Chain A
Amino acid sequence: DGGITQSPKYLFRKEGQNVTLSCEQNLNHDAMYWYRQDPGQGLRLIYYSQIVNDFQKGDIAEGYSVSREKKESFPLTVTSAQKNPTAFYLCASSTGGLAGGPSLETQYFGPGTRLLVL
């Protein structure tokens, strides 16, 4: 897990509720990522950020939002617009600053947050 922490470990969401997943890193990495993992599927990219105050949508950004106000933190909000939020959410970081981005860098993953719907 390196120096990446995610909280909480388990999170329960009620219908129509927004919930926020925390991701913090002390690796001094510029780049951070959010992935969703579902059974029988590969990891899918939700959002990523190459630098503070900037972020881009991944393949499945609908129903999610992020912010990157600090280098160390990249919280993910699962909004009520996300109709199927039950999944395992993984945050990752990499050094960033290279032209190749995560293609050339090792991504370090957090321990994950499992989101369940009540």
Chain B
Amino acid sequence: KNQVEQSPQSLIILEGKNCTLQCNYTVSPFSNLRWYKQDTGRGPVSLTIMTFSENTKSNGRYTATLDADTKQSSLHITASQLSDSASYICVVSAGTGANNLFFGTGTRLTVIP
């Protein structure tokens, strides 16, 4: 069964600290993996996309890693800011077609001053 699991469910960190969010998947075949940021009450916004051959991709203070062998990805946030408070969603594609996108349940990050 194609599944995407994210951990932790929620996380609270102090402003300025780093954190790492995890995404494990059992999706097959694998096409690509995306990380989205979703502010409360808003739609998700794409942060990164990685294909099978890529193992690291950065977008400002956000760095995503991918280990296609172990089917794991992580999103590392450096020097967190209050505006990083959001849900972070991992999405894995199993190939072509809208029905082949599998969404994780997200990690809810809260950054406190």
Q: Which of B41, B102, B106 contacts A112 (CB 8 A)?
A: B41
Q: A40-B105, A42-B103, A43-B103 are in contact. Are A100 and B96 (CB under 8 A)?
A: yes
What is the interface size of chain A, counting residues whose CB is below 8 A from a CB of the partner? Answer: 30
Q: Does A66 contact B (CB under 8 A)?
A: no
Q: Is the interface on chain B under 10, 10 to 19, 20 to 34, or 35 or more residues?
A: 20 to 34
Q: Are B41 and A103 within 8 A (Cβ)?
A: no
Determine which of A42, A102, A106 lies in contact with B98 in the assembled complex, contact meaning CB atoms within 8 Å.
Answer: A102
User: A74 interface residue, CB < 8 Å from B?
Assistant: no
Q: Write out the residue numbers on chain B whose beta carbons fall within 8 Å of the beta carbon of A4.
A: 43
Instruction: Please determine whether B42 and A101 come into contact, CB atoms closer than 8 angstroms.
Output: no
- Are A45 and B43 in contact, with the CB atoms below 8 A? no
Q: Check B100 for interface membership: any CB of A closer than 8 A.
A: yes
The stretch from B44-52, B55-63, B64-72, B76-84 touching chain A is: B44-52
| A43–B43 alpha-carbon span in the complex (Å) | 11
- Contact for B101 among A41, A99, A102, A109, CB less than 8 A: A102
Q: State how many angstroms separate the Cβ of A16 from the closest Cβ of chain B.
A: 28
Q: Is the CB of B105 within 8 A of A111?
A: no
Question: B89 to chain A: which residues have CB within 8 Å?
Answer: 42-43
Q: A101-B96, A103-B100 are in contact. Are A1 and B106 (CB under 8 A)?
A: no
Interface residues of A (CB under 8 A from B): 1, 4, 31, 33, 40-45, 48, 56, 58-59, 90, 92, 99-104, 106-112, 114
Q: Which residues of B contact A (CB under 8 A)?
A: 4, 31-32, 34, 41-46, 49, 89, 93-106
Which are the 4 A-B pairs with shortest beta-carbon distances? A109-B43, A42-B103, A103-B93, A48-B98
